[in-house]
Chain A
Amino acid sequence: MDLQKLITKPKKGAKSIRAGEELTVVGQSVPRIDGWEKIKGAAKYTDDLEFGPGLLYAALVESPFAHARIKSIDISKAEKLHGVVKVVTGGNFTQKFGLYMNDRYVFATDTVRFVGEQVAAVVATDPKIALRGAGLVKVEYEELPAVMDAVKALEKDSPLVHPDLKSYTHVPWFFPKPGTNIAHWRKIRKGDLAKGFRDADLVMEDTYSVPRYAHCAIEPHSAIGLYDASGRLTMWTSSQSPFTQRHVFAETLKSFGLSHKDVRVISTYIGGGFGGKAGVTMEIIAAALALTVPGRPVKLLWSRAQEFYNTYQRLGCTAKIKMGVSKAGKITALDFKLHWDAGAYVEYGANVVNAAGLSASGPYKVDNLSIDSMCTYTNLPPCGAYRGFGYSEFLFGLESHITRMARELGLDPVEFRMKNAIKEGDTLPYGAHMNPTGIRDAIERVRKEIRWGVKEKSKDPKKAIGKAQVCFWKSPAMPPNASSSAFLKFNEDGSINILVSGMEIGQGLLTVMAQIASEVLSVPVSKIRVETPDTDRNPYEWQTVGSHVTWGCGNAVKRAALEARERILDLVQRVHCLDKSALYLEDQHVKCRTKPDFALRFSDFVINGIQAEDHTFKGGPIMGSGVFMPEFASAISDPETGQGGHPNVHYTTGSAGIILEVDRETGKMKIKKVALAVDCGKAINPDLVRGQIVGGLLQGFATVLYEDMRYNEKGRLLNPNFSDYKIPTVMDMPDQVVPIIIEVAQPDGPFGARGVGEHTMIPCAPLIANAVEDAVGVRIKSMPVTKEKVALAVKAAKK
């Protein structure tokens, strides 16, 4: 199996340092190294940074139409307002940009494509003046027919959102269809679908729909730009991806003479990301504005409403499933069509569609498989990364459908899943092979935890109790050459600074990186400092997305630590004439197996070197660097079948189960218990893994039970606030959450670790839908599964 070829250096290194020894720091729930700063209220987020009285503020002029031609823009009144420094329109910035598909402009130039799209900006000395100035810009529009629905957008006479699609550049693994609204069409064809359906004893077809969702990080996006006299653009951004931002800024603004070396992105702590801060959204506006006011910092801060309507949203999805199953409970065929509403610009969102298309079989062995994952432009706000990256959406349909089919055949839905669950070495939808996985263990442990098979009764006669168990998997969705790197530097006292550009977005990355280095170098976590990045000082990281940084950035840190260790051992061998193979690190000392009384303290030499017998000094500052790139990955495959590449690096799998109480009259649902088992390979910090499970589950349940972005027929978002887009409060916690950590090592992961951040929210939708059916006998096929839908369905079923 191809992963085996990959046994990377760190793995060997790990063996040589501590052959047979127990891990001492990895696997421990050490307190977060960023804990105190945050708990004291001292942690700085982007909007907390001070820029002095010269700071300028920007406000935007936004489109009131979902689709319109801009006829004219009159900025004369705004320019005259006292305190207005600059009014900027799209004409100044004509370079299109995007992460995977270059389909966006900094400002709409001749056409607006969604309600809220930026048309112009006013830069002023005060935020109030900027807003008042924006109100004085007069834009004349000619409204155009708009399309708000991904399925209608495929009809022949649908308005085209991007008539010039043919001229857009994009990554080679995207397949847009110019002349239509299809921005990308990921196809998977495996086995013989027709035969699979012929072999089936039951074929069931249905459609499941999922609306758009908002990330709702509590910190809104913010960005400050400063273009200085040396021709350097410095950006302070609330970002999961400072290096990706630097690249997009440099590429988009290169006509102003900027190259990558001139662009510097500094990211502080961020107040939640969930994918919403993964790419470049409003930050490009601040970057562009900075160029128009050289020498003066300019800030753009999103309001909560803008946070809702003009950052990425989660894509809406209509999923059509046709599945064939044998009496024995084997999935014989799956034909899965996913229609994605990706919005007005798909520069990031199209990759969600791609990722879902590659993996929509779920964690099951499906030999005869057809997947069409279609990314469609609509005149709604642009969509992009959201924790789960398309998997929550297809799992709602898939895991609902599996339970229904199992029940229809009289099979136990959990046993059914156990039978079909993927194994190490099985062929994946795109032809590569499955990594080691603990999915069966996960199914078994969750099954026990929720007392599957034992029917429970509510004490309240108005209520019924239902149970459900589902499985999930997810892979990081990343370009094949996405890489991570790390620098590690020792200080005089033996303490360490680690520089990485993986972002601390709440998950605890800084702590986990410190634990990895600590384990290799025997320096306690308390003596290691890891901070958020500055692209000038810190080495490259692709993005902090896809649950990949513990794995990717962790590998880089481990390699950097091993390199530092090698330097230490080389030096000691050279100066003390001890054989390197006998040397080891323990408790911040170099020790020697053959010479028990030898112990050289790090603080005695890691900067100033070791004094030799002739009084000279050897060595010098000890440091290490590490780079990790998954060199086995490839995104190139046959566009008609998806076969041939190796687009996904590995899958994290798991299972989740629920005990749900449903009020038959009101539809109100109460989660009595939820258990989630996830195979994270190795939990470097179990407490932080539990944090991901508990937090991810609540975020997931909210998308099923009450969250929902609602648009009117004109494409205007009706609930751009927390008053009507309800995110859970402490009152909405499940009664009991049981996190279960499974550890089947990932061969190429640091200490066997693989990602876990997104996986914890993706099984929630089918869990609720299946448990509702188990409890009260109604099947809800559209998210959210609100109490209203449940109550009205129960009422209708009675009639």
Chain B
Amino acid sequence: MKQHNIQFWLNGEKVSLQVEPSDVLLDVLRGKLGIKSPKAGCDRGDCGTCTVLMNGKTIRSCLALAVEADGAEIVTLEGANSRKWTQRLQKTFHEKNAFQCGFCAPGVILSATELLENNSRPTTHDIKEAIAGNLCRCTGYEPIVEAIEETVKGK
């Protein structure tokens, strides 16, 4: 198949590489670019572990073709680690032992970052709505929601 040369900004750095049309963005990030925080959990957009920010919005990188990233700005948790809200969230998540196995954490933190960057005074319902697509099998969600609420209060 025809290879495509694509260029995009990944966590603030410009990357260029060749991809096949059938390459999935998640697989390219993980397999070719060494970005491991987005994970493969369900293969079909149900679980949210593959969440990345594309042009400022969370998307399912398992449901995007890599060629679609051409010209886009992609941010993963590796890159979001320096964002203000991400750092505030991380501090509270740590203090409140909000995660257990940690596999869903990158996706949850990016979803919460997207929320707080757009709405710094979310209601509990807004918080739940924002992370409703991120499945966590360990925590029962309560410590995650509490930590986000705490982050909002302590801002």
Interface residues of A (CB under 8 A from B): 29, 31-32, 34-45, 47-48, 50, 127-128, 215-220, 269-274, 301, 303-305, 505-508, 687-688, 691, 694-699, 721-723, 727-731, 733, 737
Contacts and interface: CB of A to CB of B under 8 A. Distances in A.
B34 interface: yes
A730 B138 contact: no
B36 interface: yes
A728 B136 CA distance: 8
A704 B74 CA distance: 40
A217 B137 contact: yes
A737 B140 contact: yes
Interface in B13-27: 22, 27
A205 B33 CA distance: 62
Contacts of A723: 44, 46
B141 interface: yes
Contacts of A507: 100
B43 interface: yes
Contact of A506 (B37, B47, B102, B128): B102
Given A41-B37, A697-B140, A730-B145, A691 B103 contact: no
A722 B47 contact: yes
A274 B103 CA distance: 14
Q: Which of A34, A36, A272, A273 has the most chain B CB within a 10 Å cutoff?
A: A272
B137 A274 contact: yes
Contacts, number: 160
A691 B43 CA distance: 28
B93 A694 contact: no
Interface of B: 22, 27, 30, 34, 36-37, 39-44, 46-47, 49, 76-78, 81, 90, 93-95, 97, 99-106, 109, 128, 131-145
A219 B128 contact: no
B99 A38 contact: yes
Contacts of A41: 36-37, 76-78, 81, 105-106, 109
Contacts of B27: 127
Contacts of A737: 140, 142
A128 B101 contact: no
Nearest to B81: A40
A642 to B, nearest CB: 35
A301 B41 CA distance: 11
B147 to A, nearest CB: 10
B131 to A, nearest CB: 5
Q: Which residue, B78, B97, B132, has most C-beta atoms of chain A within 10 A? A: B97
A272 B36 contact: no
| Nearest 8 interchain pairs by C-beta | A38-B102, A271-B103, A41-B37, A506-B101, A506-B100, A41-B77, A722-B46, A698-B140
19 contacts: A31-B94, A34-B102, A35-B99, A39-B90, A39-B109, A41-B109, A218-B47, A218-B104, A219-B39, A220-B41, A271-B39, A271-B104, A272-B100, A272-B138, A274-B137, A304-B41, A304-B44, A730-B131, A730-B132
Given A506-B101, A695-B139, A729 B94 contact: no
Contact of A39 (B39, B43, B93): B93
Contacts of B37: 41-42
A271 to B, nearest CB: 3
Given A39-B105, A43-B102, A729-B135, A721 B34 contact: no
Nearest to A760: B140
A44 B30 CA distance: 12
Nearest to A696: B140
B64 to A, nearest CB: 17
Given A219-B101, A699-B137, A730-B131, 8 more contacts: A31-B95, A274-B137, A304-B41, A304-B43, A695-B100, A727-B135, A729-B133, A730-B145
Contacts of A729: 132-133, 135, 141
A498 B145 CA distance: 33
A28 B105 CA distance: 24
Contacts of A505: 101
Contacts of A691: 97, 100, 138-139, 143
Contacts of A42: 37
A509 B57 CA distance: 36
Given A38-B105, A41-B76, A269-B101, A218 B135 contact: yes
B66 to A, nearest CB: 13
A694 B134 CA distance: 17
B36 A44 contact: yes
B28 to A, nearest CB: 12
Given A219-B41, A270-B101, A730-B131, A694 B49 contact: no
A36 B93 CA distance: 9
A410 B78 CA distance: 62
B136 A218 contact: yes
Contacts of B43: 303-305
Nearest to B110: A41
Given A695-B139, A721-B46, A730-B128, A47 B100 contact: no
Contact of A687 (B49, B97, B105): B97
Contacts of A272: 100-101, 103, 137-138
A699 B90 CA distance: 25
Candidate in A44, A215, A506, A696 with the most chain B CB atoms within 10 angstroms: A506
Q: Output the residue of A305, A697, A722 with the most chain B CB within 10 A.
A: A722
A22 to B, nearest CB: 23
A543 to B, nearest CB: 17
Given A41-B81, A730-B128, A688 B39 contact: no
B41, B101, B103, B104 interface centre (most CB from chain A within 10 Å): B101
A121 to B, nearest CB: 19
B137 A727 contact: yes
Contact of B42 (A32, A271, A721): A721
B97 A35 contact: yes
A737 B146 CA distance: 13
Contacts of B100: 272, 506-508, 691, 695
Contact of A722 (B42, B76, B143): B42
Contacts of A43: 102
B93 to A, nearest CB: 5
Given A40-B77, A218-B41, A304-B41, A688 B137 contact: no
Contacts of A269: 101-102
Contacts of A38: 99, 101-102, 105
Contacts of A274: 137
Contact of B94 (A35, A304, A731): A35
Nearest to B109: A39
B102 A128 contact: no
A708 to B, nearest CB: 17
Nearest to A725: B46
A40 B80 CA distance: 9
A733 B133 CA distance: 14
Contacts of A45: 39, 103
A676 to B, nearest CB: 11
B61 to A, nearest CB: 13
Contacts of B138: 272, 506, 691, 695
Contacts of B140: 694-699, 733, 737
A41 to B, nearest CB: 3
B40 A47 contact: yes
Nearest to B31: A127
Nearest to B89: A39
A798 to B, nearest CB: 34
A273 B137 CA distance: 10
Contacts of B136: 218, 730
Contacts of A39: 90, 93-94, 99, 102, 105, 109
